[in-house]
Homo-oligomer: A and B are copies of this chain.
Amino acid sequence: MDISKRARKAANILKTTSNNDRNAALKAIHDRLRDNKDRILDANKLDVESAKSNDLSGALIKRLELTSTKFDVMLQGLLDVAALEDPINKVTLERELDDGLKLYKLSCPVGVLLVIFEARPEVIAQIGSLAIKSGNAAILKGGKESLNTFTVIQDLVSDALSRTRIPSDALQLITTRELVADLLKCDEYVDMVIPRGSKELVQNIKRSTTIPVLGHADGICTAYIDEFANPEMAAKIVVDSKTNYPAGCNAIETLLINKNAPLAGKRTVAALIDNGVTIYADEPTMEFITDAIGADQHLKLADADAFDTEFLCLAIAVKQVDNVEEAIEHINEHGSHHTDVIVTDNEANANKFLIGIDSAGVYWNASSRFADGYRYGFGAEVGVSTNKLHARGPVGLDGIMSYQYVIKGNGQVAGDYVGAGGAKRFQFKDINLTK
């Protein structure tokens, strides 16, 4: 497959370029896009008009539309990424195996990324800049609804790169679905797939490739109100976790309330209802809440699927539990291993929860909405992963880095050492690295 082979060749060169060269390429792309703002926005208008005449959803059109402000934010993003520390060749281990025989562990790019996204054309600059900064080649596939915007940006990026030391094939933009299907089979040349879009997109891709996929199909996050929760804090954290951005993967979908926390439970559910959230309650909760605040149109009985549902809107499933152990068990079984929260003033229960939950993020007295690369201080976010291998949770530049072991010797051979035929012993002296 020509595209992936060219990407691999570009990756092999990109890996050897200096931080200055990579930053210069980002600046070149930035300048070229800035100088052609009108042309790009005009192309985007065509896409938006065509989307409207095809009756695409309002939400999609909003994501598709490249406003002047979004454009400027995208440009600034290119400069921000250039300003990040060089992620390549960071030494994370230095060990003297024996006199004159040294082992190093160095960060290096993963290689070739295939990034698949929907609608939002500014992702090209976002992901493209992260790829170049980290020395990875990227093949970018946008949705067909953004074809005009995409084509113009593609020409400009490719033209900008051709004047730098970064190979033009480092960023290739493709538009057809058939090409993606082919590329998903190229596990010899493509090292990682990053889908940015709906749950369906991610699931479809995971099913159709053996290449590692960075992403999360589900975001079923849970908050647990412990017996020892401060009622006001519980209400505040749960309302933020649910309503700050209900479409986010880090919004909670389930609330567990300890049976001995009636005050915190009542206050929290009332606050959710005040914020327009529909409550799908199990029977004990239903009983207790109706007793406490009376019937309400927002209060409904949970069905069997409620606790495995990602609502992504102002709705939440609520269940009563006996203790922190039951909460942990419920979350490990029904959650999607994304981010889960305990509200409690009891340190022992908090520690049980923090260590017992098998999720990318486990929070004590803080909103689930902090699960985000920028809020973690990563400077950039590649995505959020519920994989347990490689990158987990919010993923910054680190997530598209691999590592290599380098040995520098002066002629040493294994046969001289114990275990391989010789008598010499390794010394294993670690060199302290200052961070």
Contacts and interface: CB of A to CB of B under 8 A. Distances in A.
Interface of A: 11-12, 15-16, 89, 95, 97, 101, 103, 108, 110-111, 191-192, 206-207, 210, 212, 230, 233, 236-237, 239-241, 244-245, 328-329, 332, 350, 352, 354-356, 358-367, 369-372, 374-377, 387-390, 392-394, 402-415, 417, 419-421, 426, 428, 432-433, 435
Query: Which of A328, A354, A367, A369 has the largest count of B CB atoms less than 10 A from its CB?
Result: A367
Contacts of A393: 404-405
A16 B103 contact: no
Taken together, the copies of this chain in the complex come to 2
A225 to B, nearest CB: 13
B370 A411 contact: no
A405 B16 contact: no
Given A241-B413, A389-B389, 19 more contacts: A111-B388, A236-B411, A237-B411, A239-B413, A244-B421, A245-B420, A360-B405, A363-B407, A366-B407, A366-B413, A367-B415, A369-B413, A369-B420, A371-B405, A374-B419, A389-B390, A390-B390, A432-B435, A433-B435
A361 B407 contact: yes
29 contacts: A97-B370, A191-B388, A191-B389, A212-B387, A212-B389, A237-B411, A244-B413, A244-B414, A244-B415, A245-B420, A362-B405, A362-B407, A363-B408, A364-B408, A365-B412, A366-B408, A367-B414, A367-B415, A369-B413, A369-B415, A370-B407, A375-B414, A375-B417, A377-B426, A389-B389, A392-B402, A392-B404, A394-B405, A432-B435
A9 to B, nearest CB: 9
A367 B408 CA distance: 10
A387 B192 CA distance: 11
Given A389-B389, A426-B375, A406 B364 contact: yes
Contacts of A241: 413
Contacts of A332: 12
In order of increasing CB-CB distance, the 7 nearest A-B pairs are A366-B409, A369-B414, A240-B413, A377-B428, A389-B390, A233-B411, A390-B390
Query: Which of A89, A103, A374, A413 has the largest count of B CB atoms less than 10 A from its CB?
Result: A413
Query: Which of A366, A412, A433 has the largest count of B CB atoms less than 10 A from its CB?
Result: A366
